[in-house]
């Protein structure tokens, strides 16, 4: 079918054209959702959307990428024919229908996700189908390998250490203590971290208060060669491009497919060649994993997946019922980290980091079992970890001499006080994050909140619970309103919930 081109100078994420409904029906495009467009000897296959209004019969709307690839101008005539769907769409259908996918089938899907060959409908069907039907370990192994193979890999050498936290705990910046401890102990730990999507800070956001985190592969290798470690933003090195696209569909549906999460975490670790991996699984009300059983099941799956991939994995189930550290938001968390490196930091942040670093040292087999924690503690106490962190900050392009007091915290503040007397029962991570986000974190680094109490503290009416910091008075007010409405800190009482 010959169609008349209407060019729109808009960049779309994937090659896409829009046809009139009637032409689409005639071409049979309703079924395949794909067309082949030919113009002056060049041809490409694109996803075809349809409309009854925006494009007239006999016309085709063409956008940035497709226009350039075919060198098309407005009012050109192009030849359009229906073309078949990629085979991966059949495999997606197979998954929805409850069949197990084999390695080739999973690889085909992941490759098409990365190559942007799937329409939103097809990608969503894949994500929803995987969530509903679940994945068996064979599929998860295949998905991990496919994600690794379709992304960037970086060779940092042998005996690479790594860690991951399942997340959901506000302020949990153990990575920024573990990396300098492990690197100071003489091991290589090229840590890539994420930025916050729904939380008030990711490790990459917090590290960015101290130094840049956005590097290409060569620069990253240089940093690690020099210091044994780094704390970089994973997104900058494109380790798992399939992952980001899948997450974009999971978020609006609030779904988190276990099989995909396992594959995603392990793929990012394998892409940097990690051999010894510690996984932190926080458990409890307000964390991502609610029950102990679920945490144990997840741990066994991580370990099994590690075995199948030939890497050593150990999972630590940790208390996730409250934030770790006192600061929430990039700057306030970075300040906690610097205090901790001076051995003055929040006790819970230091204790958890030492436990994890100790476990990592033991997992590597390079220290006597039961002695890892002591070695880690010695490295922190002696100032060797601080010294290593200064080297890493400098290698990443930050100021190595930065002091906790130098970190700028937003000027407008408001303190929430307790209306009750008793012990602090819990501090709900999600709500704490929501309030810190309302104050401006993570985008505004200096915004967030500071916790004056910990779970178990005995407090009185009028005692300060937390202080909110914001650069904007409006945002401060909004965050304050949320704090009173959502009630993140529960004091006293034995009733955990009232069902009416």
What is the spatial distance between Cα 131 and Cα 125, in angstroms, rounded to a whole number?
Answer: 10
Q: Please provide residue 271's backbone torsions phi and psi, each rounded to the nearest 5 degrees.
A: -65, -25
What is the spatial distance between Cα 166 and Cα 287, in angstroms, rounded to a whole number?
Answer: 9
* Minimal distance, residue 336 CB to its own copies, in Å: 23
Residue (36 or 248) nearer to its own copies, CB: 248
What is the spatial distance between Cα 428 and Cα 132, in angstroms, rounded to a whole number?
Answer: 28
Q: Please provide residue 493's backbone torsions phi and psi, each rounded to the nearest 5 degrees.
A: 80, 155
Q: Pairing relation of β-strands 327-328 and 448-451?
A: antiparallel
Residue (32 or 38) nearer to its own copies, CB: 32
Residue (162 or 208) nearer to its own copies, CB: 208
Q: Annotated catalytic residue: which of 26, 256, 297, 460?
A: 256
Q: Please provide residue 487's backbone torsions phi and psi, each rounded to the nearest 5 degrees.
A: 60, 70
**Phi-psi region for residue 327, left (φ > 0), alpha (ψ -120 to 50) or beta?**
beta
* Minimal distance, residue 246 CB to its own copies, in Å: 12
Q: Find where tokens 């630590």 sit.
A: 316
* Minimal distance, residue 98 CB to its own copies, in Å: 8
Site residues (vs its own copies, CB under 8 A)? 8, 10-13, 22, 25-26, 28, 30-33, 51, 53-54, 61, 64, 85, 89, 92-93, 96, 98, 119-122, 124-125, 128-129, 131-133, 195-198, 248-249, 251-255, 437, 443
Residues in CB range of 446: below 8 A, 6 or more apart: 329, 330, 331, 408, 409, 410, 440, 469, 471
* Minimal distance, residue 442 CB to its own copies, in Å: 8
Closest CA to 162 of 305, 310, 312, 288: 312
What is the spatial distance between Cα 44 and Cα 52, in angstroms, rounded to a whole number?
Answer: 24
* Minimal distance, residue 169 CB to its own copies, in Å: 18
Residue 401 designated active-site? no
* Minimal distance, residue 441 CB to its own copies, in Å: 10
Residue (196 or 379) nearer to its own copies, CB: 196
Residue (36 or 308) nearer to its own copies, CB: 36
Q: Find where tokens 């032409």 sit.
A: 23
Residue (124 or 343) nearer to its own copies, CB: 124
What is the spatial distance between Cα 125 and Cα 147, in angstroms, rounded to a whole number?
Answer: 19
- Catalytic residue positions? 256
């Amino acid at each position: 079918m010959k169609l008349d081109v209407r060019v729109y100078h808009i960049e779309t994420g994937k090659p896409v054209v829009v046809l009139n409904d009637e032409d689409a029906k005639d071409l049979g495009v309703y079924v395949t959702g794909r067309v082949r467009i030919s113009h002056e000897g060049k041809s490409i296959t694109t996803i075809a959307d349809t409309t009854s209004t925006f494009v007239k019969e006999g016309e085709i709307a063409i956008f940035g990428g497709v226009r350039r690839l075919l060198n098309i101008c407005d009012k050109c005539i192009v030849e359009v024919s229906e073309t078949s769907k990629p085979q991966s769409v059949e495999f997606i259908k197979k998954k929805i229908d409850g069949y197990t996918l084999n390695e080739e089938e999973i690889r085909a899907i992941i490759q098409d996700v990365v190559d942007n060959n799937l329409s939103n409908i097809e990608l969503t069907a894949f994500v929803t189908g995987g969530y509903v039907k679940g994945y068996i370990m064979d599929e998860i192994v295949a998905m991990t390998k496919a994600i690794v193979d379709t992304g960037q890999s970086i060779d940092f050498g042998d005996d690479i250490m790594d860690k991951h936290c399942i997340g959901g705990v506000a302020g949990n910046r153990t990575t920024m203590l573990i990396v300098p401890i492990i690197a100071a102990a003489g091991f290589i730990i090229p840590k890539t971290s994420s930025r916050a999507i729904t939380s008030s800070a990711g490790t990459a956001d917090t590290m960015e208060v101290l130094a840049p985190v956005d590097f290409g592969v060569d620069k990253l290798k240089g940093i690690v060669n020099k210091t044994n470690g780094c704390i970089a933003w994973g997104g900058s090195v494109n380790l798992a491009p399939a992952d980001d696209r899948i997450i974009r569909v999971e978020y609006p549906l609030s779904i988190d497919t276990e099989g995909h999460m396992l594959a995603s975490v392990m793929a990012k670790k394998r892409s940097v060649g990690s051999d010894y991996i510690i996984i932190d699984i926080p458990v409890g009300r307000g964390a991502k994993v609610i029950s102990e059983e679920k945490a144990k099941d997840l741990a066994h799956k991580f370990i099994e997946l590690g075995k199948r991939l030939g890497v050593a994995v150990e999972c630590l189930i940790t208390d996730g019922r409250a934030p770790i550290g006192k600061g929430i938001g990039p700057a306030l968390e970075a300040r906690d980290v610097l205090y901790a490196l001076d051995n003055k930091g929040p006790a819970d942040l230091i204790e958890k980091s030492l436990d994890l670093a100790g476990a990592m040292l033991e997992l590597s087999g390079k220290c006597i079992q039961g002695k890892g924690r002591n070695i880690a503690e010695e490295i922190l106490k002696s100032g060797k970890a601080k010294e290593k962190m200064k080297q890493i900050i400098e290698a990443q392009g930050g100021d190595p001499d930065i002091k906790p007091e130098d970190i700028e915290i937003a000027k407008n503040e408001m303190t929430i006080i307790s209306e009750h007397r008793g012990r602090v029962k819990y501090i709900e991570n999600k709500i704490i994050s929501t309030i810190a986000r309302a104050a401006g974190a993570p985008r505004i680094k200096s915004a967030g909140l500071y916790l004056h109490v910990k779970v178990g503290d005995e407090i009185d009416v009028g005692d300060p619970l937390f202080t909110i910091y914001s650069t904007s008075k409006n945002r401060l007010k909004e965050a304050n309103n949320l704090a009173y409405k959502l009630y993140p800190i529960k004091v006293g009482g034995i009733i955990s919930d009232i069902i009416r």
